[in-house]
Amino acid sequence: MPEVNGRWIADMKLPRTPDNEEPAAERACDFRPVDKGFTEEMAIAEASRCMRCKRPLCVDGCPVNIDIPLFITHIYNREFGHALDTIRESSMLPAICGRVCPQENQCEGKCIRGRKGEPVAIGQLERFLGDRPELASTPHMLPKSGKRVAVIGSGPSGIACAGELARNGFDVTIFEAFMTGGGVLVYGIPEFRLPKAVVKREIDGLKELGVKFEYNSVMGRLADAEELLGEKGFDAIYVATGAGLPKFLNIPGENLPNVFFANEYLTRVNLMKANSFPEFDTPTKRGKSVVVFGGGNVAMDAVRTAKRLGADRAIIAYRRTEEEMPCRKAELHHAKAEGVEVMPLVSPLEFLAGEDGNVCAIRVQRMELGEPDTSGRRRPVPIEGAIEEIPCDVAISAIGTNANPFAKLIGGMELNKWGYIVADEETGQTTNPKIWAGGDIVTGAATVILAMGAGKKAAADITEKLAG
Amino acid sequence: MFKILQKTQFSEKVFKFRIEAPEMAKHAHAGQFLMVRANERGERVPFTFADWNAEEGWVEFIFMVIGKTTTMLSTYEEGDSLQDVVGPLGVPTEMGEGTWVVIGGGVGLAIAFPVARQLVATGHEVHVIMGARTKDLLLLEDQFRSILPDDHLHITTDDGSYGEQGVVTAPLERLLEGGDADRVFCVGPVPMMKFSTLTAQKFGTPIIASLNPIMVDGTGMCGCCRVEIDGQTKFACVDGPDFDATKVDWNDLRARQAAYRTEEGQSLKAYEEANCACQR
Ligand SMILES: Cc1cc2nc3c(=O)[nH]c(=O)nc-3n(C[C@H](O)[C@H](O)[C@H](O)COP(=O)(O)OP(=O)(O)OC[C@H]3O[C@@H](n4cnc5c(N)ncnc54)[C@H](O)[C@@H]3O)c2cc1C
Ligand SMILES: Cc1cc2nc3c(=O)[nH]c(=O)nc-3n(C[C@H](O)[C@H](O)[C@H](O)COP(=O)(O)OP(=O)(O)OC[C@H]3O[C@@H](n4cnc5c(N)ncnc54)[C@H](O)[C@@H]3O)c2cc1C
Ligand code: SF4
Ligand code: SF4
Ligand code: FES
Domain boundary among the residues A373, A397, A421 is at: A397
Q: Can you give the pLDDT at residue A397?
A: 95
Q: Nearest CA to B269 among A277, A267, A257? A: A277
Fold of B2-89: Elongation Factor Tu (Ef-tu); domain 3 (2.40.30)
Q: Report the pLDDT averaged over residues A279-285.
A: 93
Are A424 and A341 part of one and the same domain? Answer: no
Domain end residue (candidates: A135, A162, A192): A135
Residue A212: which CATH number? Answer: 3.50.50.60
The predicted structure's pLDDT at residue A8: 86
Query: Same domain for A8 and A128?
Result: yes
All residues at 6 or more sequence positions from B226 whose CB lies less than 8 Å from its CB, including other chains: A255, B213, B233, B234, B235, B236, B256
Could you tell me if A241 lies within 8 Å of chain B, comparing CB atoms? no
The distance from CA B269 to its chain's CA centroid, rounded to whole angstroms, is 25
Answer whether residue B16 shows pLDDT above 50.
Answer: yes
Residue A107: domain span: 3-135
pLDDT digits (tens, 9 = 90+) for B74-126: 999 999 999 999 999 999 998 888 999 999 998 899 889 989 999 999 999 99
State whether A276 and A291 are in the same domain: yes
Nearest to A218 among B69, B86, B224 (CB): B86
pLDDT at A245 over 90: no
Mean per-residue pLDDT of chain B: 92
Mean pLDDT of A112-117: 92
User: For residue A6, is pLDDT > 90?
Assistant: no
- Strand B33-37 with B84-89, pairing: antiparallel
Let me know whether A272 and A339 are in one domain. yes
Of A215, A257, A280, the CB nearest to B255: A257
- How large is the angle between the packed helices B250-257 and B190-202, nearest 10 degrees? 170
Domain endpoint, select from A397, A424, A452: A397
- The confidence score (pLDDT) of residue B279 equals 52
Question: What is the count of structural domains for chain A?
Answer: 3
Judged by CB atoms closer than 8 Å, whether chains meet at B228 and A222 is answered as no
Same domain assignment for residues A155 and A234: yes
* Maximum average pLDDT range among A147-161, B99-113, B166-180, B258-272: A147-161
A281 min Cα distance to partner chain B (Å): 5
**Sheet arrangement for strand B164-165:** B164-165, B153-157, B126-132, B100-105, B183-187, B207-210, B242-244
Tell whether A101 and A212 lie within a shared domain.
no
Q: Angle A196-208/A156-167 helices, nearest 10 degrees?
A: 30
Q: What is the pLDDT of residue B280?
A: 46
Confidence at residue A317, expressed as pLDDT on a 0 to 100 scale: 95
- Predicted local confidence at residue B10, as pLDDT: 86
Question: Would you state the pLDDT for residue B278?
Answer: 55
pLDDT tier, A371 (very low <50, low <70, confident <90, very high otherwise): confident
pLDDT digit string, tens, across residues B36-45: 999 999 999 9
pLDDT number for residue A373? 80
CA distance A153 to A202: 14
- C-alpha A83, offset from chain centre: 23
Spatial CB neighbours of B130, under 8 Å, sequence gap ≥ 6: B104, B109, B112, B138, B141, B144, B153, B154, B155, B156, B163
CATH number reported for the structural domain that contains residue A119 in this entry:
1.10.1060.10
Q: Of A59, A75, A113, A116, which is best to mutate to test ligand 4, by the most ligand atoms within 8 angstroms of its C-beta?
A: A113
CB A216 to CB B86 under 8 A?
A: yes
Mean pLDDT within A94-98: 94
How many inter-chain contacts (A to B, CB under 8 Å) are there? 108
- Residues of A whose CB is below 8 A from B57: none
Share above pLDDT 70 across residues of chain A, in percent, rounded to a whole number: 100
Strands A243-246 and A401-403: antiparallel
Mean pLDDT, residues A428-452 taken together: 95
The full length of chain A comes to: 468
What pLDDT shows up at residue B277? Answer: 55
Architecture of domain B100-210: 3-Layer(aba) Sandwich (3.40)
As a whole number, mean pLDDT of residues A335-339 equals 93
Q: Do residues A383 and A422 share a domain?
A: no
Q: Is the pLDDT of residue A1 over 70?
A: no
- List of residues 6+ apart from B246 with CB closer than 8 A: B197, B200, B201, B207
Is the pLDDT at A426 greater than 70, yes or no?
yes
CA of A408 to the centre of ligand 1 (A): 18
Residues A193 and A315 in one domain: no
**Do residue A205 and residue A274 come from a single domain?**
no
Judge whether A334 and A34 are in contact, CB under 8 Å. yes
User: For the segment B127-150, what is each residue's pLDDT rounded down to a tens digit?
Assistant: 999 999 888 888 888 889 999 999
Average pLDDT taken over every residue of chain A: 93
Mark which residues 70-99 of B lie under 8 Å from A by CB. Answer: 83-89
Chain B hits for A357, CB-CB cut-off 8 Å, are 255
What integer pLDDT is reported at residue A182 of this predicted model? 96
pLDDT of residue B245: 96
Confidence of residue B214 (pLDDT cuts 50, 70, 90): very high
| Span from the CA of B49 to the centroid of ligand 2 (angstroms) | 14
Asked whether residue A94 falls in the same domain as residue A47, the answer is yes
Task: Work out the widest C-alpha separation in chain A, in whole angstroms.
Answer: 78
- What ligand has the least distance to the C-alpha of B263? 2
Is A393 found in the same domain as A251? yes
**CB-CB: which of B69, B228, B259 is closest to A258?**
B259
Q: Helices (H), strands (E): how many in chain A? A: 18, 17
State the DSSP H helix or E strand holding residue B128, giving kind and residue range, or none if neither.
strand B126-132
Average pLDDT over residues A407-419: 93
Domain boundaries, chain B: 2-89, 100-210
The reply to whether A256 touches chain B by the CB within 8 Å rule is: yes
Which residues are paired to B126 by β-bridges? B100
Question: Which distant-in-sequence residues (6+ apart) come within 8 Å of B278 by Cβ?
Answer: none
On whether both A275 and A236 belong to a single domain, the answer is no
pLDDT tens-digit map of A9-64: 888 889 999 999 988 888 888 888 899 999 999 999 999 999 999 999 999 999 99
Largest CA distance in chain B: 60
Whether the CB of A248 is below 8 Å from some CB of chain B: the reply is yes
Alpha helices of A371-417 — where are they, by DSSP H? 406-410
> Which strands form A346-353's sheet, in the order they lie side by side?
A346-353, A359-372, A378-391
